[in-house]
Amino acid sequence: MPMPSAVDLAAHPLTTWQGALGLPDFTRIGDGDFSGVFDAALAAHEAEIEAISGNTETPTIENTLAALELGGEALDHVSSIFWCRAGAHTNEAIQALERDISPKMSRHFSAISMNERLFARIDDLYQRRDALKLDAQTLRVLEKTWKNFVRSGARLDAEGKKRLASINEELSSLGTNFGQNLLADERDWALFLDEADLAGLPEFLKSAMAEAAEMRGQKGRYAVTLSRSIYEPFSTFSERRDLREIAFRAFTMRGQNGGATDNATVVRDMLRLRAEKAKLLGYASYAALKLDDTMAKTPEAVHALLDPVWEKAVEKAASDQIELQRLAAEAGSNEEFAAWDWRFYQEKLRAEKFAFDEAELKPYLQLDRIIDACFDVATKLFGISFEEKQGIATWHPDARVFVVRNADGSERGLFLADYFARPSKRSGAWMSALKSGYKLGDGSRPVIYNIMNFAKPPEGEAALLSVDEAKTLFHEFGHALHGMLTEVTWPSVAGTSVSRDFVELPSQLYEHWLTVPAVLEKHALHVTTGKPMPKALVDKMLAARTFGAGFATVEFTASALVDMAYHARPDAPNEPLRFEAETLEKLNMPDTLAMRHRTPHFGHIFAGDGYSAGYYSYMWSEVLDADAFAAFEETGDPFNPALAERLRKNIYAAGGSKDPEELYTAFRGKMPSPEAMMIKRGLV
């Protein structure tokens, strides 16, 4: 590894952020800068770890635990910018770097977690923890740190440590390959259409498809892409069944098209390595390893939630399909009902039952107005405000910058948002941080960002969202609030650093405020007339909230059950795609429905390790969020000040500083049952 002197970390724009508002100066950062700075930052962090582990003084919280938490600042800085670029605005140079850097980072952190002298100092503190008279948060951080070292191989013998480091490095590279293969399939596929092919499509979708075609060099035509913001409405409204089938097959076959971007062998190798890793660390399965530090704790507890939901969802989907087939027959279709018919006829059924369709709502859901609604709700609940700053360079011209202020006007941090789809951005929506917020040492103010993939409108037109997209905006902003409102001391438990099945609570809970009538009345204004959404349309929309519950719940729960099936076994299947099919067959998966995320493009569990054996956590958190919003409904005030303060203190500001059950109970007084979630979904 090059010596740290090869790059001046104290002056480089990747590590010393001297842009406006304390952001990185993106105008001074080039793709060629990352490699050398990464090497220097890794070496600098290595030297810091050596200083901590080689310290001959008695271990203390300050010279060991705090030093460990605050180390690696330069590496944190360059990493946060790089991974933002890799997800939100990549290119061949960045992707090549990603393939190089991922295994380097894995090797680096494996070496830290298996550093015997470092673990000896942590273990010394851990064994003396009762005598140290630590405050509750520090004790929790010490206990979590010790356990993380053990779960990362600190107690393995030399041979075991070497093998685990090798497994981690391989998994890191495979996860990078999986994500890049998926991005390539999504980027390279488009179905170009002409005016004659657009029967049934609303104007907002035609505009988005025209813009997508122009971005791909086909001005004057229309493109169906594999971005959900185009694929899903096309599947919903297109009267061309043949084109719906083409789009459906392309969407569900992402990552499974043969050739260089096929993910089948990547998945097989990842599952094999994960099973070996779990066995090496003494766990019965990879799911047992991953669930060890969650609210659920065991695969059995996950199934206790998912299995009853699955039964109800399949039952509901079957009864819904009978209705959809009736509509298809009435429309003169003689074809056997198929998966590419579901969204189309479901929309027709919605119109029949509730006398409106999604296209009626869209003119009232302008992107900028829904952003304002997100901010407005945060101001009402938590007293914070947002001020946009123009002309500040970020990773892409589309990204926007907001200063976040406390009620007294003091600066809390920054929020950045990048809303539109483009070929250089991976699909989906997410929240992350350029900097997290904490109080240890000199402290740090949070710099949080949201990434979306909404269809970009032509110049001068407003971006319009579907209800699902508006919910996604609120969802990711809920994660952002979790990062921005954090009030903890220790970096490792700040913001969203909580158990995987608790992290979705702040985001899913925040979605509820989108449909509060007062919020809609103020922010759901027609793009042309400026008038609020009529009460009759609001009522229809709210009445239809559980419409399509069978479809949505089967889609999601099938993915969660397949994830658990892969990871709860002690070994790995030789042919994962066959295993996927066999698992779905055992579940009696309807052949007219597809998983929301099929294995070859299931980025949550294979493009990295984030949600592996953890996709269930969205539903686990949904049990909590349904119960949490019911607390506000019970008071008759969705902005009840006393309850909002309890919510801020115990959920949004507390990070992982306490056990999640303790935090939730402090807010609500008790833990919930799944019943409220089942009712909310319309399954009971």
Which residues carry out catalysis?
476
The residue type at 293: D
* Integer angstrom CA distances of residue 555 from 40, 314, 409, 548, 678: 45, 10, 45, 11, 16
**Residue partners of 678: CB distance under 8 A and separation at least 6:** 309, 312, 684
DSSP letter assigned to residue 494: S
Could you tell me which of 657, 491, 433 has the C-alpha nearest to residue 69? 491
- State the Cα–Cα distance between residues 631 and 237, nearest whole angstrom: 38
Largest Cα span, the chain: 83
User: Collapsing DSSP states into helix, strand and coil, what is residue 482?
Assistant: helix
Distance between CA atoms of 254 and 641, rounded to whole angstroms?
47
CB neighbour class for 531 (10 Å; exposed up to 12, middle 13-18, buried from 19): exposed
The string of DSSP codes covering 364-384 is G-BHHHHHHHHHHHHHHHH--
Residue pair 594/555 in contact by the 8 Å Cβ criterion:
yes
Output the CA–CA distances (angstroms, integers) from residue 6 to 44, 48, 447, in the order listed.
11, 17, 28
The label of the residue with tokens 């007294």 reads 408
| Integer CA distances (angstroms), 236 to 57, 68, 112, 467, in order | 67, 52, 50, 13
Q: Which residues, at least 6 apart from 57, have a Cβ–Cβ distance to it below 8 Å?
A: 63
CA angle (367 as vertex; 361, 370 as ends), nearest 5: 80
Pairing of strands 411-420, 447-454: parallel
Residue 337 has what DSSP assignment?
P
Q: Which two tokens stand for residue 536?
A: 């009759």
- Token pair listed for 591: 């052949």
H helix intervals, 412-490: 467-484
Alpha helices in 603-659 (DSSP H): 603-606, 617-635, 641-647
Q: Report how far residue 163's alpha carbon sits from residue 167's, in angstroms, rounded to the nearest whole number.
A: 6
C-alpha span between 103 and 107 (Å, rounded): 6
Q: 295 near 656, Cβ under 8 Å? A: no
